[in-house]
Every structure is written in C-alpha cells, then in structure tokens.
Structure 1
Amino acid sequence: MEANVVNVKKENVGTIELNDSIFNTEVKEHTVWEVIRWQLASRRAGTASTKTRAEIRGSRRKILPQKGTGNARHGDRKANIFVGGGVAHGPHPRDYYYALPKKVRKKALKGVLSMKLKDGEITIIEDFTFDQPKTKKAVEVLKNFGLDQSKVLLVLSEKDENVVKSFRNLPKAKVLLVEGLNTYDILNADHVLITKSAAEKINERLG
C-alpha cells in the first residue's frame, strides 16, 4: 500500500510503499491485551515488601493468660491483628516477568500499526535533523502537525542526539528507535510520527 510522505512543515514531498502484511492486517483484541499485560508485567520493579510476624522485632511472650481475664485470646504482640504487627499474606520481592512467544508479540505490533494507520494516527515524515538541541524547534514541528498538546511518539531509524534531546523535555513526546518499537507505546500515543527511513526499516524488520 502507498502512503504520503510529508516534511516537517506538513507539505507533501512524495510517497512510500508500506508492506500490507504490516500496515494492513488485523489482530485479535485479546492478542494485543496479552502483549500489553506482558509488557507492563516486565516493567514492574517487584520490590514491594512486608514483614511477617516472624520478622517483626520484639518479644514472643504471650501478652495475657489464656483464661480468666475476660479478654479475647491472644498470643504475642507481633500478631497481624495488632498495629505494628506482622502482615499476613503480604507482598514480597519477586520477578513479574514471564515469557511470551515472539510470534505473538510481532502479531500484536503489526496489528496496532495497522489500526493506527487506518485511523489516520500515523504520519510518515521526511527524515530531518536539528543543527543543535532546541526544545523550541521540536515544539514548532509538533505545532505544524497540530500535535503540540497531544501524546506523540516519534520513531527514528538511527539515533540523532540533537533530535532526541530536543524532544525529551516535552512531557507528552517520546522518541524511539525502530528496534525499540513496541505495542504499548504505539497504543499509548495519540499520534505516531515515523520518519521515512524508519518506515523502510520497519518494512524490512517485520515484513
């Protein structure tokens, strides 16, 4: 399929052939959900930790006699029903990562790229650079596309320090290389700007 290529001023400068198997395919919603769940699980730090009653510092002496006081039966002060006591079944450090087939991840990535393109939320932009890092220049580019208030994902084929540094101060903008392109960040963006060379690389890598 053919798509228009525009420059940073949003003027048409040519066309590009996009691979139908990547940009014109369908994917089950459940497959996308599986990949998003896997990605978010992989990002979890897994550092939440609570102490059991065995780990609480203090005496293990029974706080009152079993019978005769009229009070409820209790053991030591470290029981989970007391303030400052241990936590029953609380979280402990763990790794939330689990394996997901590469085939499934690739299928979901193609599916969301197709969906975004179909909805008019992907623009192929001519490769550009800045002579120096300037956030102001990045804002100008986004304003030309009416995206200065939107969540934008910019996809590059190669790392350009001036472009990356210009966009990184913008809270709603994110820059990724083709190698780091993923389902979650594509779906999370309101609009995806893909440079022409990055689109060609996507054709090659995912086709």
Structure 2
Amino acid sequence: MYSLPVLGSGKTVEAQLPERVNPHVLYEVVRWQLASRRRGTASTKTRGMVSYTSKKMYPQKHTGRARHGDYGAPIFVGGGTVFGPQPRDYSYTLPKKVRRLGLEMALADRAQQGKLFLVERFEGVAGKTKEFVAWLRAHNLEGPSLLLVTSDPLVARSARNLPQVRVLAPEGLNVYDILHQEVLVMEASAWDVVKARLGGEGE
C-alpha cells in the first residue's frame, strides 16, 4: 500500500501497488514496446535486384582471371548484398497479464522513490507555457524530467513545448515513458482511468 501525495492540497491517496518491483518484468515490457515501435523498413538489394547487365564479363576460360558471371555479384562494388536486411515486422505478442504487471511495477517504482504525484487542479494553468513553468516552480519540479498525464487540453498545450516534459493522455500511459522520465505527475481523474486499466486494483 502506497500513499500518493496530492500536490497543493496536503492530502494523500492510498494506492494498492506491488511491494516488490521485478526489473526483468520491466525489461520485458520495455523490450516489447520498443520492438513494436520499430518501423522495419530497412531494405537492401540482392543480386537479382541490382541494375546491371547479366552479360558475362569475359570468357570463362583462357584469360588467366577468375571466373565471373556478371557485375552484379556481391564481391563487386555496387553488386547485390548477401543476406542483407529486408522489410519486416519486429512486433510480437506479450501476454496482457505481463503488460499489466509491468505498468503496476513501473508505477510502484516511482511511488517507492517518492516521485509519483497526483494533482486535483493545475491552478493558474490555462494554455500558456509560462503558466506551467510557474506551476512547476511553485511545486519545486523545475529541474527533473517529468511525465505529465492529463486529459485537459489546456494543460497539455501549456506543457508540451517544454523539453523536459513529456505529455500523455491517461490511455497512453506506458512503462517506457514512466521509466524514461524522473518524475510522474498525474491528474486525479487520470489516476481513475489508470486504475480501470489495471483492473480496478489501483486503490
């Protein structure tokens, strides 16, 4: 059981998250995420794809030179590539239970470190970047990289241009972004959405 501080209110919210964080589960989920993001568009031309004449370079015998068929052979500059990369899909299936457990453990990791905060309202933030900078300064969050989870378009617009801030909708919260940023700040309403994703076991 963790007590998550609610910034600006002095209150806390009780959260039921794993007591023990398994780094291997986090590794598996991050590896699955990054594999799914790979475009897989790398492509090389094989010997049959290069634009060279297929005419034999010189007679097979009596020249004193090695036997060659055409300039498209892999040993020549500009020739085809042997076993080079071809377009492919790098994604694979990871069980839903592992994905859910990975998200729970990533949240627990931030909670253990005291870097998971909830916010009821972003006071004074109405769409301007300087307003969000002032809000960060007021809560001593200027320095670290920050993952902001919000469904408020004005708050998202205020924060999205800051290089140290990554903005996500509650539905897009994921293990990689949680671990990639130092601090996680979530709207209280976003926390309810995340609890629903975790099967109602967030509190």
Unaligned runs of 5+ in 1: none
Alignment equivalent of 2:122, drawn from 111, 125, 128? 128
1:1-207 → structure 2 map (5 Å cutoff): 1-7=2-8, 12-18=9-15, 20=16, 22=17, 24-128=18-122, 132-156=126-150, 159-206=151-198, 207=201
More displaced stretch, 118-127 vs 128-137: 128-137
Specify whether residues 165 and 65 from structure 1 end up closer, same or farther in structure 2 by C-alpha distance, changes over 3 A only.
Answer: same
Measured after TM superposition, the shift of residue 107 of structure 1 is: 0.5
Measured after TM superposition, the shift of residue 118 of structure 1 is: 0.5
Specify whether residues 143 and 80 from structure 1 end up closer, same or farther in structure 2 by C-alpha distance, changes over 3 A only.
Answer: farther
TM-score (norm 1): 0.86
Query: What one-letter code is carried by the residue in structure 2 that aligns with 1:52?
Result: T
Measured after TM superposition, the shift of residue 27 of structure 1 is: 3.8
Measured after TM superposition, the shift of residue 111 of structure 1 is: 0.8
Over 4 Å off, 4+ runs = none
Unaligned runs of 5+ in 2: none
The percent of aligned pairs where both chains have the same amino acid is: 45
Matched residue SS, 1:39: helix
How many angstroms apart in 2 are the aligned matches of 1:74 and 1:80?
11
TM-score (norm 2): 0.87
Measured after TM superposition, the shift of residue 200 of structure 1 is: 3.3
More displaced stretch, 80-89 vs 144-153: 144-153
Q: Residue deviations 1:41-64, cap 9 Å, x none? A: 111111111111101112012223
Measured after TM superposition, the shift of residue 33 of structure 1 is: 1.1
Query: What one-letter code is carried by the residue in structure 2 that aligns with 1:3?
Result: L
